[in-house]
Amino acid sequence: MIISLPESMAELKDFLVHLDKTLQDRITEIARRYYQAILEEVDEALARYRGSKLQIEHQRAVWYQTCLGPVRINRREYRDRNGGGKGERYCLLDNLMGMSKYNHTTVRVQELALETASQMPYRRSAEVLRKTSALNLAHQTIWRMVARSAEPHIAKERQELQWFLETGEIPQGEGKQVARLMVEADGVILSLQREKERKAEVKLGIAYEGWEKVGQDRYRTVNKTIFASVDSQAQFWPGLSLKLERTYDLSRIKDTVVGGDGAGWIKEGVSYVGGRYQLDRYHLHKELCSAFGRDKQIKGRIWRACERGDVAAALEILAEALKKARGDASLRIARVARYLQENSSGIGDYRLGLGAECQDLRHTGAIEGNIDKLIVRRMKNQGMSWTLKGISRLLCVRFLVLEQKLTSWLEKEKQPQIESLSVIPRRKVRRIVTRLSTREPDDWVKARLPALYGPHASRPWVKALKSLSEVFA
């Protein structure tokens, strides 16, 4: 490659400021040529080692989307001789690379695009990838990647859930046993588009084994499992239970605590996971504040009664306050009383009676932060609206990323489809890759700066540029 030398100092300054980008572009171009040469030679080897029933029909070029940018690959297409003139067509190189007919994208490109899309809007994802890498993908392309990657995973999970609901058969899991499992659930409302309804509730559930301290008054959950669903209420708890059964033996866990804000569908989870209900202290405190504002004395009395599980005492204090209240204040106090009565089974602190064991236990309430981090930040506000399929697909990809399972899932989907069509030895492919990747660069790789050898070759700034050019010598 030839890099021309700027004539003025202003142009030289601009050249040096953008030198890293210039070198990156040139190096990427060299890597694309290596990539093309390796794959086309592998395609030739596939033609020599192909099965006897395959006949070469023609050679056709296609663009592979790689992390080096788009690379045009000439590869052969074959037809099955046994099928006569209407035999099925195959492309051995595409099959070996795990490519489909209309999707010639490498695993690494999909991984980058999906991880970015799981954190920010599709348009912003395309812009970030374009500015930070050699990828130039349209936001619609990233949207289609999310759909193609998520649909098989969603279909697989729904099939397993349907089997679980019909047969009640518990799948083979790790059988992990723990002393206590904390389970929490909550929902968040998202706006819809192109659907009959205007809104939909996404239900989120988390399960964890405890807490560990990560700073002053800061804790994080241990071995967290996450599950979300936008489907009907009847499928949420079976789906979460099925996911937990893959890790835990729920029948042998002595104490399972189900935390929530008092919604009826959350309380139903107690029967699915075999635990006891605990009212979330965040929502209890919120209700008390709405009724009594800054009156710390009466709030403290009700709070202490609730902590002891003495619902009758708490209701008695509310009844006394209700006699003195007027107008809207009386309505708010009456609402708190109904709230305590409806959640009386989960009012008492679950740690009561545990003795010294409760020193390492905390209140429930981790679900509030998880709702924000896992769903709200990516899928709510900012004028966003979704289809039901779009919510399910993005949640699937987002959770695969957070659970560090995305790469293994993509590689599984990219496995060669037809092993028997070619018997090329793996050592042959390794030799091709090793030979071409270690080959000395051709003349088109070598850099030359003609002006470095002109009349100004002895000047300091020219010597500095010459030392940079020696990197490619």
Contact 203, 265 (CB under 8 A): yes
Q: Please tell me whether residues 393 and 416 are part of one structural domain.
A: no
Q: Tokens 């405890």: give the residue.
A: 210
Q: Please tell me whether residues 371 and 419 are part of one structural domain.
A: no
Position 418 pLDDT exceeds 90: no
Tokens in use for 89? Answer: 């067509």
What's the pLDDT score for residue 471?
A: 47
Q: What is the pLDDT of residues 144-167, one digit of tens each?
A: 999 999 999 999 999 999 999 898
Give the global pTM: 0.83
Q: Please tell me whether residues 341 and 430 are part of one structural domain.
A: no
**Quick check: is 230 in a domain?**
yes
Q: Please tell me whether residues 122 and 181 are part of one structural domain.
A: no
CA dist 145 and 109 (Å) reads 10
**Quick check: is 337 in a domain?**
yes
Look over the chain and give the mean of its residue pLDDT values, rounded to a whole number.
Answer: 86
Q: What is the pLDDT of residues 22-39, one digit of tens each?
A: 888 888 998 999 899 999
Q: Please tell me whether residues 57 and 113 are part of one structural domain.
A: yes
**Quick check: is 186 in a domain?**
yes
What's the pLDDT score for residue 444?
A: 42
Give the mean pLDDT of 255-270. 93
Q: What percent of the chain is modeled with pLDDT above 90?
A: 58
194: left (phi over 0), alpha (psi -120 to 50) or beta: left
Burial class (CB in 10 A: 0-12, 13-18, 19+), 159: exposed
Q: Please tell me whether residues 426 and 363 are part of one structural domain.
A: no
**Quick check: is 2 in a domain?**
no
CA dist 143 and 123 (Å) reads 9
Q: Please tell me whether residues 429 and 457 are part of one structural domain.
A: no
Q: Please tell me whether residues 319 and 358 are part of one structural domain.
A: yes
Q: Please tell me whether residues 427 and 359 are part of one structural domain.
A: no
**Quick check: is 205 in a domain?**
yes
Look at residues 343, 370, 399 and tell me which one is the last residue of a structural domain: 399
**Quick check: is 151 in a domain?**
no
Q: Please tell me whether residues 467 and 323 are part of one structural domain.
A: no
Q: 258 lies in which domain range?
A: 171-399
CA dist 203 and 189 (Å) reads 9
**Quick check: is 152 in a domain?**
no
Look at residues 378, 399, 420 and tell me which one is the last residue of a structural domain: 399
175: left (phi over 0), alpha (psi -120 to 50) or beta: left
CA dist 437 and 31 (Å) reads 9
Look at residues 342, 375, 399 and tell me which one is the last residue of a structural domain: 399
**Quick check: is 4 in a domain?**
no
What's the pLDDT score for residue 339?
A: 95
Contact 203, 170 (CB under 8 A): no
Number of structural domains, the chain?
A: 3
Q: Please tell me whether residues 415 and 452 are part of one structural domain.
A: no
Q: What is the pLDDT of residues 303-345, one digit of tens each?
A: 999 999 999 999 999 999 999 888 899 999 999 999 999 999 9
Instruction: Rank 232-241, 288-297, 389-398 by mean pLDDT and report only the highest.
Output: 389-398
CA dist 405 and 169 (Å) reads 25
pLDDT tier, 420 (very low <50, low <70, confident <90, very high otherwise): very low
